[in-house]
Amino acid sequence: MSEIDARVVQAIVETANDHFFIVDGSGRVLDVSPGAAAVYGMTREALTSSTVQALEASGVLKPSISMEVMRTGKPAQLMQVTGTGRRVIAEAHPVFVDDRLERIVSRSRDLTDLQLLQDEYALLQKRFSEHLRRSQPGPTEQDGELDETLEALQVRSSVMRELALLLKRVAPSDATVLMLGESGVGKTAFARQLHRWSRRGDGPFIEVNCGAIPENLFESEMFGYQPGAFSGAARQGKAGLLEQAEGGTLFLDELGELPLLMQTKLLKVIQDGTVTRLGDTRPRRVDFRLVVATNQDLASRVEEGAFRLDLYYRLNVIPVTLPPLRERREDIPALVESCLDRLNQRYGRQKLLHGSVWSELMGSEWPGNVRELENWLERAWLSSAGDVIEAPTLGRPVGHAATTDAAVVTPAPLAMAEDESLKAYLARTERQVLATLCEQLSSTYAMAGRLGISQPSVVRKLQRHGLRIERTHR
């Protein structure tokens, strides 16, 4: 390495926000960034006079990611608890020369600071809400426009109104918005409204369910491809979803299901503002506003190594958490009335709800939120013979306090065959459970709620086992 190159590397290590370790192939620490001392509880001199084996044995590195790379010869990512009690996410990469491991370069980022930032944001959001309640300004033309918008979204609760105000204020910018909340709370509806409020409102709104696209097709769908890029490619090539969002908004739903490889490629698009189709070497400029949504705890996914920390930082610019329906029950009547109107128009009859149904609707916990409420109403509408929908038609809504797990019959455990492997037995048991639920439940969302997994996971499992929900439930 030339002297200039050596100085460039040293400058990177000295000035990086992350904490760098450079280790040789035997585990000896060659260099660390200055900030590492505060996190790992040892001076730079003490760290560079030690080995990763000794640092792990003394509890400074719990565990050592460099030792994991030495063991596997592959890049690694894991959570560490340092000797000072701080939690960091570490990432390491091997450097080979003539098939011999010569160096390991690792970097770590302190998640303790991330938690402090999240706590600070929560406090600011709380103060913002209190300010809105105290100020209560008089009606303006903009307030009237907001009221019309909230009327269309069937929003009555104060907490949802405050969230709408926040989204309306950030809509003119291009800041990335991260929609958080349980499945079915209305993240897509609010993402569409954010798009309409933005300066890109006349452009396209491209919605992508990251859990619904098979992993082997994800790259070609997202990034597009050139003619002849692979067997079966369209003769004229194809623009990917990223390009289709040009001048508008790209909404990535179920973000937590995004494969790690695609996370890396998405991060590059966000950083560079360009996309390269499969089979092409020419990058294309893209200009879109990014809105993402998930019902998963992305911070936990980062800790598990299933989600990139650097991408999490890029996306977590304006996090907005939509509360579940059980925490804003005043929205239920408007949602019910709107859904009932749509059903009456769709099926050409004017049905009404019996008064007794309201206590059931208002008393349910609605674990599937707005989506579950709408599904339940449609089942009740279709199963009622007359023009009045009564509560006993289909029993209590799922999640009502009086509902028990007995409402869904679980199949008896299978006996394990004598020559059957554990993997085969578990697969056969999983298929039996899914097949039973396909006969009993009406949607993959209901199945996800019963199994405690995400809806895209249910879809993939059904496809793997060749199952589908019984038509009588649709």
Asked whether the bond before 227 is cis by omega within 30 degrees of 0, the reply is: no
3-class SS string, 247-296: CCEEEEECHHHCCHHHHHHHHHHHHHCEECCECCCCCEECCCEEEEEECC
Among 305, 323, 341, identify where a domain stops: 323
Question: Do 338 and 300 share a structural domain?
Answer: no
Question: Do 13 and 161 share a structural domain?
Answer: no
Among 355, 377, 403, identify where a domain stops: 403
Question: Do 151 and 181 share a structural domain?
Answer: yes
pLDDT per residue as tens, the chain (474 positions):
566 766 776 677 666 667 889 999 999 999 888 877 777 888 889 999 999 999 999 888 888 999 999 999 998 888 788 877 777 888 899 999 998 999 999 988 776 655 555 555 555 555 555 544 554 444 444 455 566 666 667 777 888 888 888 888 888 888 899 999 998 899 999 999 999 999 999 999 999 998 888 877 888 889 999 888 777 777 788 899 999 999 999 999 999 888 888 898 898 898 888 999 988 888 999 999 999 999 988 888 887 788 888 888 888 888 899 999 988 888 888 889 889 999 999 999 999 988 888 888 888 888 889 988 988 888 888 888 888 888 654 445 545 443 333 355 556 667 777 788 877 888 888 888 888 888 888 777 778 777 777 677 788 788 888 888 764 444
Q: Which two tokens stand for residue 344?
A: 């009456």
Count of C-beta atoms within a 10 Å radius of residue 242: 24
Instruction: Report how far apart, in Å, the C-alpha atoms of 349 and of each of 286, 288, 306, 340, 381 are.
Output: 47, 43, 49, 10, 10
Question: Do 315 and 341 share a structural domain?
Answer: no
Dist CA 167 CA 445 (whole Å): 27
Residue 77: which CATH number? 3.30.450.20
Q: Are 391 and 357 in contact (CB under 8 A)?
A: yes
Q: Can you give the C-alpha Rg of the chain in angstroms? A: 27
Question: Do 363 and 293 share a structural domain?
Answer: no
Residue-range definition of the domain harbouring residue 225: 143-323
What is the residue type of 37? A
364 three-class SS: strand
Question: Do 76 and 13 share a structural domain?
Answer: yes
Dist CA 449 CA 452 (whole Å): 5
Sign (positive or negative) of CA dihedral 274, 279, 281, 282: negative
Count of C-beta atoms within a 10 Å radius of residue 379: 17
Question: Do 346 and 256 share a structural domain?
Answer: no
Question: Do 281 and 189 share a structural domain?
Answer: yes
Question: Do 353 and 319 share a structural domain?
Answer: no
90 three-class SS: strand
Question: Do 336 and 452 share a structural domain?
Answer: no
Q: Are 183 and 322 in contact (CB under 8 A)?
A: no
The total of structural domains in the chain comes to: 4
| 394 within domain boundaries | yes
Question: Do 210 and 158 share a structural domain?
Answer: yes
Segment (H or E) for 344:
helix 332-347
Among 403, 422, 438, identify where a domain stops: 403
Instruction: Report how far apart, in Å, the C-alpha atoms of 199 and of each of 112, 194, 195, 248 are.
Output: 36, 10, 8, 9
Dist CA 83 CA 218 (whole Å): 41
Question: Do 163 and 82 share a structural domain?
Answer: no
Segment (H or E) for 102:
strand 100-110
| 120 within domain boundaries | no
| 421 within domain boundaries | yes
Residue 397: which CATH number? 1.10.8.60
Count of C-beta atoms within a 10 Å radius of residue 282: 8
| 132 within domain boundaries | no
